[in-house]
């Protein structure tokens, strides 16, 4: 697996917020309070792949740790230059 990001957990949270907020605005998903964190992570990943914003992980390698890392990496390209979590 690629090198763990320094603030991966925080970056993942930002990525999920951005992706799921966009999905709700687009009317393609309703997030329920009972939806698990892992379900939200998987949905966000599948949405980014569907929107062609990231390439899918190879078959059999789409594990939750790798998906979390992929989402955290994606958001590093979406945050403004100089963001506190990019250091």
Residue-wise pLDDT tens digits, 36-76: 999 999 999 999 999 999 999 999 999 999 999 999 999 99
pTM of the model: 0.90
Mean predicted lDDT score pLDDT of the chain: 93
Contact 72, 1 (CB under 8 A): no
List the domain range (segments joined by +) for residue 59.
8-86
Is residue 25 in a domain? yes
Counting residues of the chain whose pLDDT is more than 90, the rounded percentage is 85
Counting residues of the chain whose pLDDT is more than 70, the rounded percentage is 98
Give Dmax (Cα) for the chain.
35
Is residue 3 in a domain? no
In the chain, the number of structural domains is: 1
2 band by pLDDT with thresholds 50, 70 and 90: low
Is residue 81 in a domain? yes
CATH number for 20: 1.20.120.1930
């Amino acid at each position: 697996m690629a090198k763990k990001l320094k603030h991966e957990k925080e970056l993942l949270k930002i990525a999920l917020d951005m992706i799921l907020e966009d999905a709700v605005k687009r009317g393609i998903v309703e997030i329920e309070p009972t939806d698990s964190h892992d379900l939200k992570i998987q949905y966000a990943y599948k949405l980014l792949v569907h929107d062609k914003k990231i390439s899918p992980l190879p078959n059999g390698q789409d594990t939750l740790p790798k998906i979390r890392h992929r989402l955290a990496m994606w958001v590093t390209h979406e945050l403004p230059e100089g963001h506190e979590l990019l250091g």
